[in-house]
């Protein structure tokens, strides 16, 4: 098994940059603003042939009250307890600060071993800070440049003893497996301060995500591996998504971009609503984005315990869904309270049911028998003076259900008839809550090319243009 490494240090020393460097992706948001990272993020990292689990943490702060910084410090402490070894980063260009000394003393008392890493040493600019870091008493510092990838060989040597102690083994080759055996990619999205992180903590049964009354606490999209009744789930908590016109700060733009990326790579998306506000315009915009991306959708109405007129709230949500999202009927609406836990037991079963529908395939024979009935009951419209002929239908793929409809080459089906077919498909084969796509294919007329000359002019097939008789005859 692989070992676990936590990256810790005061704000803005390059922890997220090192995290992205070691996992080989730009997962963590990086900005010059101190304190960008608030929740801990995990990823699979590697240096050469050494594989390990890496944890990116919030910047260490010496706040002792119940402030946001103090809660961030608590998350970092839990990460340190879960790790086999910690990388304590300092900024070599700035040198050793009083905050670095404070947390170096704290690490001396902690049971988790630590490795001192002097970041930003590229070009010799950090030599003064590198030499000064010996005074922290954490052993020889590892000179590193996370941004430029320098010093990774020295970091490999520093981590090697912990790899041997924990018996790190090579990863087995994983064959292609059925979708039921792969982790379900589940994203939790919504506007700021609707309770997304609180729902994640309630589902996991631990304070895994940073929560509080402040809006916009979550900035990164945090992915968590989890198991629900034997089913592997990859749970992704995202930053709140406000209207585009209200997003002005660069950091919020990066956070929203991270949330959009999570939606695109999810399989099922849970859109969290505030029961005291109902389904608002921004919620509908997020829901449309989810549908356009072809993801399955579940609505979670949070704060149900403080809702005033519950019947009116549900009625308003159902009416707006029917009016604004008629293309996807049957979206599950789960009422719950993340604080009390009431109703949360219904959320994951609804997600799994929708995921199964999203992966469903329909046999070609059943599809074509259905198509015959549809043509008899409501024939295709007339296009260019002639009625279109629908010849054949088959399912091209699932995830989401996508169908190919073969028709005559006289023109494309009107959008209204496509919607009619999708609505009937949904009812006939029990496909609620997921987007359905129908692509039309038309066969080429083999006589069109034969009738055209080299410049696109119609040939006369060897007949005289005057008499109409075969050429050479009078």
Say whether 364-443 and 3-165 share the same fold.
no
Report whether 160 contacts 85 (CB < 8 A).
no
C-alpha to C-alpha distance for 46 and 52, rounded to whole angstroms: 6
Residue 212 pLDDT greater than 60, yes or no = no
Tokens 């992915």 identify what position? Answer: 223
- State residue 263's pLDDT score: 85
Banded pLDDT at 430 (limits 50, 70, 90): very high
C-alpha to C-alpha distance for 139 and 152, rounded to whole angstroms: 18
Residue 284's Cβ-count burial label (10 Å; 0-12, 13-18, 19+) is: middle
Q: Once rounded to an integer, what is the mean pLDDT over residues 290-297?
A: 92
Residues 6+ apart with CB under 8 A from 19: 7, 27, 28, 41, 43, 45, 54, 56
CATH number of 184-358: 3.40.50.300
C-alpha to C-alpha distance for 270 and 287, rounded to whole angstroms: 10
Q: Once rounded to an integer, what is the mean pLDDT over residues 223-231?
A: 84
The pTM of the full predicted model, rounded to 2 decimals, is 0.64
pLDDT tens column, 318-345? 999 989 888 888 999 999 999 898 999 9
- Token pair for 168: 């790190």
Residue 193 pLDDT greater than 50, yes or no = yes
378-385 own/partner pairs: CB under 8 Å, 24+ apart: 378/420, 380/407, 380/413, 380/417, 381/413, 381/414, 381/417, 383/410, 383/411, 383/412, 383/414, 384/410, 384/411
Residue 228 pLDDT greater than 80, yes or no = yes
More confident site: 94 or 370? 370
Q: Once rounded to an integer, what is the mean pLDDT over residues 69-91?
A: 74
The CATH homologous superfamily for domain 364-443 is K homology (KH) domain (3.30.300.20)
pLDDT tens column, 142-188? 998 888 888 888 898 888 888 754 444 333 333 334 677 788 999 99
- State residue 466's pLDDT score: 45
- State residue 160's pLDDT score: 87
C-alpha to C-alpha distance for 469 and 474, rounded to whole angstroms: 8
Peptide bond into 312 cis (omega under 30): no
More confident site: 198 or 408? 198
The CATH homologous superfamily for domain 3-165 is P-loop containing nucleotide triphosphate hydrolases (3.40.50.300)
pLDDT tens column, 41-64? 777 888 888 888 888 877 665 555
- State residue 29's pLDDT score: 46
DSSP β-ladder status, 390-397 and 402-407: antiparallel
- State residue 454's pLDDT score: 55
DSSP β-ladder status, 382-383 and 386-387: antiparallel
Which of the residue ranges 4-8, 117-121, 192-196, 253-257 would you say has the lowest mean pLDDT? Answer: 253-257
Residue 430's Cβ-count burial label (10 Å; 0-12, 13-18, 19+) is: exposed
Tokens 């009078």 identify what position? Answer: 474
Residue 264 pLDDT greater than 80, yes or no = yes
- State residue 102's pLDDT score: 84
Give me the residue spans of the domains in the chain.
3-165, 184-358, 364-443
Residues 6+ apart with CB under 8 A from 276: 303, 306, 307, 308
- Residue 22: CB atoms within 10 A of its CB come to 23
More confident site: 284 or 446? 284
Specify which of 32-41, 78-87, 204-213, 340-349 reaches the highest per-range mean pLDDT: 340-349
Give the residue among 209, 229, 227, 228 at the shortest CA–CA distance from 219: 209
Specify which of 13-17, 58-62, 255-259 reaches the highest per-range mean pLDDT: 13-17
- State residue 252's pLDDT score: 46
Report whether 423 contacts 406 (CB < 8 A).
no
Q: What percent of the chain has pLDDT over 70?
A: 75
Which of helix, strand or coil describes residue 415?
helix
């Amino acid at each position: 098994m692989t070992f676990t490494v936590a990256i810790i240090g005061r704000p803005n020393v390059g922890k997220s940059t090192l995290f992205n460097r070691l996992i080989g992706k730009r997962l963590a948001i990086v900005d010059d603003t101190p304190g960008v990272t608030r929740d801990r993020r995990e990823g699979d990292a590697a240096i050469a042939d050494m594989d390990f689990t890496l944890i990116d943490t919030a910047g260490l702060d010496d706040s002792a009250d119940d402030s946001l910084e103090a809660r961030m410090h608590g998350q970092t402490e839990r990460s340190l307890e879960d790790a086999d070894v910690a990388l304590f980063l300092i900024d070599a260009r700035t040198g050793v600060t009083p905050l670095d000394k404070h947390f170096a003393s704290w690490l001396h008392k902690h049971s988790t071993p630590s490795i001192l890493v002097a970041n930003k040493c590229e070009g010799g600019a950090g030599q003064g800070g590198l030499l000064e870091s010996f005074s922290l008493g954490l052993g020889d510092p590892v000179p590193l440049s996370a941004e430029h990838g320098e010093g990774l060989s020295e970091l490999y040597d520093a981590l090697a003893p912990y790899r041997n102690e924990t018996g790190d083994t090579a990863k087995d080759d994983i064959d292609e497996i059925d979708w039921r055996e792969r982790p379900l990619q589940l994203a939790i999205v919504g506007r700021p301060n609707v309770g997304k992180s609180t729902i994640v903590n309630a589902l996991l049964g631990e304070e895994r995500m940073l929560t509080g009354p402040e809006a916009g606490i979550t900035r990164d999209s945090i992915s968590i591996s989890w198991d629900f009744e034997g089913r592997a789930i990859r749970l992704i908590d995202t930053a709140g998504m406000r209207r585009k016109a209200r997003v002005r700060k660069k950091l919020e733009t990066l956070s929203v971009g991270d949330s959009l990326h999570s939606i695109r790579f999810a399989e099922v998306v849970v859109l969290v609503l505030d029961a005291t506000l109902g389904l608002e315009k921004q919620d509908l915009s997020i829901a449309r984005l989810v549908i356009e991306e072809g993801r399955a959708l579940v609505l979670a109405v949070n704060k149900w315990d403080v809702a005033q007129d519950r019947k009116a709230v549900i009625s308003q949500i159902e009416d707006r869904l029917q009016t604004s999202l008629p293309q996807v009927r049957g979206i599950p609406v789960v009422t719950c309270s993340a604080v009390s836990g009431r109703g949360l037991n219904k959320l994951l079963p609804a997600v799994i049911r929708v995921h199964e529908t999203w992966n469903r395939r329909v046999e070609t024979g059943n599809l074509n028998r259905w198509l015959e009935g549809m043509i008899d009951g409501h024939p295709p419209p007339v296009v260019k003076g002639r009625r279109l002929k629908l010849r054949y239908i088959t399912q091209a793929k699932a995830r989401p259900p996508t169908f190919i409809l073969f028709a005559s080459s006289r023109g494309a089906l009107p959008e209204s008839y496509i919607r009619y077919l999708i609505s009937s498909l949904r009812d006939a084969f029990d496909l609620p809550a997921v987007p359905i796509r129908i692509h039309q294919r038309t066969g080429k007329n083999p006589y069109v090319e034969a009738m055209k000359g080299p410049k696109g002019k119609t040939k006369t097939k060897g007949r005289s243009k005057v008499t109409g008789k075969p050429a050479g005859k009078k």
